[in-house]
Amino acid sequence: MKRNILIVIASILLIMFTAVAITRVKSTERIKSFQQIQLQNRENELKLEQIESDKLQLELDNGKAKSQEEIDRLNKEIEERKSNEERLKTELQAKLDAKKAESDRIASLGNRITGTATASAARPSGGSCAAIQDKLAALGVPADQLAAAGQLAMRESTCNEYVVNSIGACGAFQSLPCGKWGSPGTTEYYRGAINYANSRYGGYNGALAHSLANNWY
């Protein structure tokens, strides 16, 4: 009789524990949904900022500014846009990190409920750092920049020429928006990547140094 009572009590406790755990999962799912909305807002802000910055740079490059005052105004606005881009990228990375941490926590909680193990996510495949370095060398990247370029490609995409990440950046060097430098893996794409690294950081050594210091470039 006592044994039956203990079994009943144990069953009730198990049901209660499962109910509490399920409630916690639902609550964390709501948090995750809210984080996703925040993430999408930051992504959209960053894309708009980059588009406006590109428009201003194109206006300056095409010589539409006729006076020194207009040129100074454009340069100042471009710098402000770039500064805002960096702020948005930092915020976006922080939210991506928070989202991953929350996803890991939810997965861990789910595993404890079901008693199953979560398989580790496989890293993207589909490329070679050496092959990417060869393409860059053929397009004129100096030999003393190639090691940094390969390391940067590994950090950005694990040298996968065709990967697309959660915010729509794509290719070996993660252009954003995807297609900004042309189709991933093409000569056009790598020319765009080279021009970006040169114009913004003076080359791949500078781009890698910035990536190592800030976790983006």
Q: Return the pLDDT at 120.
A: 31
Q: What is the mean pLDDT of residues 170-192?
A: 93
* Higher per-residue pLDDT: 190 or 57: 190
Q: Return the pLDDT at 201.
A: 93
Comparing CA positions, the residue from 136, 137, 148 lying closest to residue 181 is 136
Q: Return the pLDDT at 203.
A: 94
Indicate the pTM of the whole model.
0.45
Residue that has been written with the tokens 């539409």 in this structure: 64
| Sequential DSSP letters for 67-114 | SHHHHHHHHHHHHHHHHHHHHHHHHHHHHHHHHHHHHHHHHHHHHHHH
The H or E element spanning position 204 is helix 204-214
Name the token pair of 138.
């053929």
- Work out the pLDDT band at 40, boundaries 50, 70, 90: low
Name the token pair of 142.
């100096």
**Chain-centre distance of CA 19, in angstroms?**
36
Comparing CA positions, the residue from 130, 142, 129 lying closest to residue 202 is 142
Q: What is the mean pLDDT of residues 27-42?
A: 58
Looking at residue 170, the DSSP 8-state letter turns out to be B
Q: What is the mean pLDDT of residues 52-62?
A: 75
* Higher per-residue pLDDT: 64 or 128: 128
Q: What is the mean pLDDT of residues 12-21?
A: 55
Q: Return the pLDDT at 117.
A: 36
Q: What is the mean pLDDT of residues 57-77?
A: 76
Which ranges constitute the DSSP H helices of 1-67? 2-61
Using the predicted structure, report yes or no on whether residue 148 has a pLDDT greater than 90: yes
191, 139 contact by CB (below 8 A) = yes
Using the predicted structure, report yes or no on whether residue 42 has a pLDDT greater than 70: no
Query: pLDDT tens digits for 94-139?
Result: 766 666 666 566 555 544 444 433 333 333 334 588 999 999 999 9
- In degrees to the nearest 10, what's the CA dihedral of 37, 43, 48, 53? 150
Q: Return the pLDDT at 14.
A: 54
Using the predicted structure, report yes or no on whether residue 35 has a pLDDT greater than 60: no
Q: How far apart are CA 143 and CA 126, in angstroms?
A: 24
Share of the chain above pLDDT 90, in %: 30
In terms of C-beta distances under 8 Å and separation of at least 24 residues, what long-range contacts does 203-212 make, across chains too?
203/141, 203/142, 203/145, 203/148, 204/136, 204/141, 204/145, 204/146, 204/148, 204/149, 204/152, 205/144, 205/145, 205/148, 207/148, 207/152, 208/148, 208/149, 208/151, 208/152, 208/155, 211/152, 211/155, 211/156
175, 162 contact by CB (below 8 A) = no
